[in-house]
Each structure stands twice: as C-alpha cells, then as structure tokens.
Structure 1
Amino acid sequence: MAAFIYPEVRVAITFQSFRTLLGNMVAAAQGACPALLDLNVGSAGRAMLEAVAGLGLWFQFIMLQILSRTRLATSIGPDVDSFVQDFGLARLPGTVATGLVTFTSFTPASQSATITVGATVRTASGIVFDVVEDSTNAAWSASAGGYIRPAGTAAITIAVQCASAGTLGNVAVGAICLLGSAISGIDTVTNTTALTNGSDGESDAALRVRFVSYINSRSRATVTAIEDAVTDVSAGLLYQVCENVDTSGAPLPGNVVVYVDDGSGDVADTLINTVYAAVEDVRPAAVSIQVVRPAIIRPAITMAVTVGGTVDLTTVQATISTSVAAYLNSLAIGAAASYSRFIQIAYAASTDVTNVTGVTLAGGTSDLPATPGTAYRAGTVSFG
C-alpha cells in the first residue's frame, strides 16, 4: 500500500502482483462472457491477458517512482537535492580535515628553513595535506609567505589541511610522515595528534532532518533559528548558544553568545566570520550577537595497557590514541568528558587487551564537568 498526502486529500493505491493482476483479469473476462473461454496456459486469450498484466506491473512501477520522488521522506540522492532547493536549502558539502604537523631538522644549527603556504606533506598511503596560513602562529612570516624555522630551532609546528574533503583526511597519530617535496632545512614531518574533523558530504537522512529544522525556523527570532543558521554554514560544526550572558558568563540581558568549533579546537577566522554573517541574518532587533571560539581544554590522559597474544603493543597504543582523540574532538561544546569512557576505549582497541590500569584524566579519576562555552579536545595520551 502506497499513500500520498495532499492538503485535505489522501490518495491510497493498492499494488498487486503479476499473479493477482492476471487472476483478476481472468475472473473479469469469464464473468462478462456467457460462454466458457479458453484461458489455459498457451492459449491466445491467456497470452493477451498476460501481456496486459505485464503492462500493469510496469505502470505500477512508474507510479511508485512518481510517489517516491514527490515526497522528501521517500526521495533519495538528486531527488532530495531538487526537493529542498525549491525552498532555498542546499546539501552541505564535505569538510576537510585540519590539524597540526611538526617539521623537524636533524641539523638545526646549520641553517634556517622556510615552509611556504601550499607546501605539501602526505601519508604513506598517499593522502595529501597542504600547509595553510595561520597568522597567530609565532613562526608565521607575512613577508616570506610562510613559516620560518630559525637557525638553532630544531622543529616548528604549523597548520595543515587535507587536499580533499571527507573523512579520508582523518588520520592517526604519526600517519603524516612524508614531505610532498624537498624543503631545504627540513628532514622529517609528523603529526603528534590525530586529525579527526574531516567529514563527508551531508547524507540524505541528515538533510531531511535539517530541512524540518530549516522550515520550522523561518521568520522566527528564536534559538532554533540561530542554531539552524549555524548548521547551514558547514557540515559537522559543533556549537552552543547561550542567552542573556556575555562571553565570560556574566549576565548581559539581550545578548546571545554563539560558541563555534569544527572539532579541531582551532577554528579559522574565516569560519567565525561566516557563522556571524549567517546568524546576523536571523538576529532579532535589539539583540546583540557574539560568535566566538569556545575555551579549549586539552586534558592529559595516562594509562597502562597490557596485551596478550602476539599483538603489537605499539599498534594498540596508536589505536587508543586515535580513538581518544576522536571521542574528545566530537564532544559538544559545554559537554562533560566521561572518565570511564577512556577505559572503555582502551579495551575496545583490541580483543587482545587484557588489562587497563592507572587511568587518569587531567590528573584525576573523575569526569571533567560540563561548563558552558568550554570544549574538551584531544590532548596528550601517555602510556605507563
């Protein structure tokens, strides 16, 4: 049974199998004829009825295709896009993974090095990352158009982003290990933290959910409208909206603070500006808006892991570090960090993990509290 609902009208269609269609036609034909018809298999009458039944199945299929494309709930792929575009909404594209890598020289005293924007590094599997501008980095030089490692400094840590959007840019600690091209004064490169904030394009299911929020927030100066404006900017954004306070948490009637993060803990100025412009479009009169980065806390985590069998302990530790980073980087702004989750992550890393002891989170053995405007992000994981 397929149904399509219009305002005040409900159209219901009962679909039939080939056998049912044929049986109904045989009964109708025989009932309308005073003489006995030859409708046995192989007869001319049977062949004509079977041909018509086949056309009936084809017409049913066409009707199903029409019904599935005229309702967002049953549309897929391009049909979802065309449906929401009629309302001014578009599918969000995938986002690129971003993070920090460390460039090191074996002979730092002999010469300095300049790493220009656009220089590439990559993983052993060939995933490419580009060096990007970060004017807040102490090593950044606008005149050089890149980052400078001074003579005598062995290593500098700078920002990179994956050359391709999607989750393929989410890589484990140490995965970025090759220079894309030779850089004078640089010998090695590595990432000391996992990259986890790359995301694929918005799925059909996610777009359907966002469409409901989008429609419900039109022409409304509400928190939902502000939140929808943020989610329209980019897939995978983490945010928190706080009313009637300033960025310090002190009371400020009529002010709205929007905390935004992309999972990296280091949001670019361009993203902050884009979110502000989107929120400004739905801001009610006499209300002030602030779009800021959350306060980032990168808690240190320690644990001792014992493994059995022939599994490599280093590989298990790398898996744990990556999973810990993914968990922390996915936490909502203002959410608590669970102490027991890290024990669970350690055991889930491999079936050969036999014991996990000495687990501490930021030096303690309790959850980190939920604090408005604060986000917990990946820090260091040490194995005793």
Structure 2
Amino acid sequence: MAITFQSLKTMLGNAVAAAQGACPALLELDVGSPGRAMLEGVTGVGLWLQFIALQILSRTRLATSIGADADSFVEDFGLTREPGTSATGVVRFTSFTPDNQSATIPVGTPVKTVGNVIYDVVEDSANAAWSTAADAYVRPAGTASITVPVRCETAGTVGNVAAGAICLLGSAISGIDTVTNDAALTNGSDGETDAALRARFVAYINSRSKATLAAIEDAITDVSADLIYQVIENVDASGAFLPGNVVAFIDDGSGDVSDAVIDEVYAAIDDVRPAAVSIQVVRPKVVRPPVAMTVSVNSTGDLPTIQTTISTNIAAYLNGLTIGESASYSRLIQIAYASSTAVTNVSGVTLAGGTVDLPSTTGTAYRAGTVTFG
C-alpha cells in the first residue's frame, strides 16, 4: 500500500478544515491568532513524525537504503560491499649503460607519475627476470631493460593512467636510469556503488543453496565485482571434453591476474560446487593484438595529445572485453574519431595486421597491446 506524504501547507490546511468542521461556531484562525498558532504547532509535530516515518521506511528496504544503511542491510545476510581495486600492470626498467653492471629491483620498489600516483613492484615468480636467490628482479649485465609487474598504492580509478605516464623512480636504483609503462593501466576501480550492491544482492540470494552456473558466477563476483570471467561446463582448460568438470577463466582486465586472486576464486567456487564436480580456475589465453593507424587533425588539434588519448581509450576498450568476446575492428575507428573534434581523418587502420574483427574464442581474452601511428 502506497503512503501519501503531505507538505506543511497541505497538512495545515487539512488541520484548519478539520477544526472548523468540528465546531458549530466560526473559529478565529487567521495568521497570528492563538488558534492558528496551536494548529501550526501540531502540524509541525506531524511533519516531523512524517519525516521519521520516511526515514524508517527508507532504511528497512534495500531498494531505498543508501551508504551505511545498505551495507548493514546486506551484512545481515552475510554479504559485504566490494572495495575498490588497485590498478595493476607492467613497467619497463632501463639502463643507458647496461654492459657496465647488473641491477637488482626488490619487491616494493616505488615508481610514480608526475602527479605523484605511486606504484609498487610486486612479486611474480613466473617473470623471466625474477630471481629466487635474490628474492628480487634482476637485470643482468648486457640486458638493457626488463619488465616487471606493479600495483598502485591507492585503490580506485586514480591508478588508471595512459601509456608512458609512469616515468619517475620513487627511489634511486643502482644500474637503472629510467622507468616507463609501455601500455596504459586501466583495471583500477572505485568501490562498489549502491546500485551495483543491490543488483549483486539479488544474485546472491537467488544463488544460495544452488549448485548452478549462477551460483558459481556469483561466487566469483563475491571475490571482486571487477573480475572478468567465463565459466564453461564439461570441458577442461584446453577445451577437451571432460564430463563433470567446470572451468572458470578469470581475469581482472590486466591479462595477468595474480595467483592470490586465482586461489581466492577457487576457494569461493569450491564452497558452492556440488559433490563429484571438479573445478579448474585458470587464467585465459591472453592475446595482445597490435593496432596501427594514421590520424590527421586540423589546426586546433595537438596531434601527440590526441594520439595519447586514442591509445588510452583503445587500451580501455580491449581491457574491458569479456573473456571469449570478439574484438571489433570498426570500434577502433570509432574510438579514434571520438577522441577529439579536431580529428579530420583516420586511415590505414589495422588490428593484428588485418582489417577484420578478431573472432570470439572460448578462454581467450583480448587485451591492450601496442598502438602505433603512421
């Protein structure tokens, strides 16, 4: 049943009409009269009670709750709001005189942008430059540069930066002269919004006590709402037929999701899988297609700035594709024209050396590669 709320003017008018209707004699209810003052006082209390009722109603339903009230509502059911995620990616450390000495880059080494957004080097034992003995990344003498993974110290979209934005060493490193990120970082995200929390709560409730694909997908989003995933039944990670097996391909938009996230997703799926069903949680096959194009601008446009914007937006598009989704060739042209009103022509566009869409392939994720301009 809908509740109709009244304004102060409407509520006072109703009170005046009710008082006059209940009295056989004409009442003195002009502005400033004692009777009018009494009715205004009672109406003010009624308006306050109406406000309290509205506050109670807005907090007892998730659909109308916001902020901390939405959090407390879902927490009663064992669900919590997802925090923001830190942007991750790789940077390249370079020496101008590589033959003179080697260099050691320990975990936690800071690098930063001109705007002082700081990123820390993180461990990746699968990286070719990782040395277990040194417990750090090593650039051997004779090798000019190595690439290592980093994570932004601050969670949120503040860590999403264009290629080349990370250009400063946070501390001096013997044998290293420069640092840069060859590709844009785009996978940082702010905390879950109220609208997203409400939508996930519905999926969470509907998947309880059900060993379904929806339950598995909800378990993945419970780890992080920003994870990109594809869940396939009755095959193994290679695509071969395997009855009773479920494969979950997991990515965070970087193309190199951490071991810790893989383990956390595995544990979450294991909690909802039925007996006798095996699960595999793996990274997708990552393809980083090179993009090339020639962009012309009019006299009002700054070509290097526009090219940087195009590179960043193409990276955001590719990194946002779901696993198994095709990459659109024509979207690249659209992104280039949308980058600035100063763009007059876009030509010579190629995607992975061709002029057609890259096909949709199970377990394959297209992610940002190099963007070159003619």
TM bucket, shorter chain: over 0.9
Letter in 2 for 1:212: V
Which of 362, 367, 378 lines up with 2:357 in the alignment? Answer: 367
Aligned partners of 1:259 and 1:291 also within 8 Å: yes
Question: Where does residue 5 of structure 1 map in the other structure?
Answer: none
Per the TM alignment, residue 143 of structure 1 is displaced from its structure 2 partner at its CA by 2.2
Question: Where does residue 332 of structure 1 map in the other structure?
Answer: 322
Question: Structure 1 regions of 5+ residues with no counterpart?
Answer: 1-9
Alpha-carbon distance in structure 1 between the residues aligned to 2:55 and 2:340:
46
Per the TM alignment, residue 258 of structure 1 is displaced from its structure 2 partner at its CA by 0.5
Alpha-carbon distance in structure 1 between the residues aligned to 2:6 and 2:341:
50
Which of 147, 155, 164 lines up with 1:157 in the alignment? Answer: 147
Which of 96, 118, 131 lines up with 2:121 in the alignment? Answer: 131
1:283-319, Cα deviation, whole Å (9 max, x unpaired): 1011111111111111111100001123221111111
Matching of residue 264 in structure 1 with residue 265 in structure 2? no
* 1:1-384 equivalences in 2 (<5 Å): 10=1, 12-384=2-374
Per the TM alignment, residue 269 of structure 1 is displaced from its structure 2 partner at its CA by 1.1
Letter in 1 for 2:192: E
Per the TM alignment, residue 219 of structure 1 is displaced from its structure 2 partner at its CA by 0.3
TM normalised by structure 2 equals 0.99
Alpha-carbon distance in structure 1 between the residues aligned to 2:240 and 2:94:
44
Per the TM alignment, residue 324 of structure 1 is displaced from its structure 2 partner at its CA by 0.5
TM normalised by structure 1 equals 0.96
Aligned partners of 1:94 and 1:235 also within 8 Å: no
1:141-174, Cα deviation, whole Å (9 max, x unpaired): 1222211111111111111100111110000000
Alignment size in residue pairs: 374
Aligned partners of 1:199 and 1:235 also within 8 Å: no
Aligned partners of 1:167 and 1:200 also within 8 Å: yes
Per the TM alignment, residue 137 of structure 1 is displaced from its structure 2 partner at its CA by 1.0
Letter in 1 for 2:297: V
Per the TM alignment, residue 363 of structure 1 is displaced from its structure 2 partner at its CA by 1.1
Letter in 1 for 2:37: A
Per the TM alignment, residue 248 of structure 1 is displaced from its structure 2 partner at its CA by 1.7
Alpha-carbon distance in structure 2 between the residues aligned to 1:247 and 1:166:
32
Report SS of the residue matched to 2:155.
coil
Report SS of the residue matched to 1:271.
helix
Alpha-carbon distance in structure 2 between the residues aligned to 1:69 and 1:320:
44
Aligned partners of 1:214 and 1:228 also within 8 Å: yes
Question: Structure 2 regions of 5+ residues with no counterpart?
Answer: none
Runs of 4+ in structure 1 displaced over 2 angstroms?
A: none
Alpha-carbon distance in structure 1 between the residues aligned to 2:300 and 2:133:
53
Alpha-carbon distance in structure 2 between the residues aligned to 1:13 and 1:73:
16
Alpha-carbon distance in structure 2 between the residues aligned to 1:84 and 1:176:
39
Stretch moving more, 70-79 or 262-271: 262-271
Alpha-carbon distance in structure 2 between the residues aligned to 1:302 and 1:239:
28
Per the TM alignment, residue 321 of structure 1 is displaced from its structure 2 partner at its CA by 0.6
1:76-129, Cα deviation, whole Å (9 max, x unpaired): 000000000000000011111110001111111111111111110000000000
Alpha-carbon distance in structure 2 between the residues aligned to 1:353 and 1:13:
54
Alpha-carbon distance in structure 1 between the residues aligned to 2:22 and 2:256:
79
Letter in 2 for 1:191: N
Report SS of the residue matched to 1:324.
helix
Alpha-carbon distance in structure 2 between the residues aligned to 1:214 and 1:235:
12
Q: Percent identity?
A: 74
1:319-359, Cα deviation, whole Å (9 max, x unpaired): 11110010000000011111110000001111100000011
Letter in 2 for 1:64: L
1:153-211, Cα deviation, whole Å (9 max, x unpaired): 11111111001111100000000000001111111110000001111111100000000
Report SS of the residue matched to 2:223.
coil
Report SS of the residue matched to 1:147.
strand
Letter in 1 for 2:49: F
1:19-58, Cα deviation, whole Å (9 max, x unpaired): 1111111111111112111001111111111111111111
Letter in 2 for 1:364: G
Alpha-carbon distance in structure 1 between the residues aligned to 2:165 and 2:291:
21
Report SS of the residue matched to 2:317.
helix
Alpha-carbon distance in structure 2 between the residues aligned to 1:216 and 1:235:
17
Aligned partners of 1:201 and 1:235 also within 8 Å: no
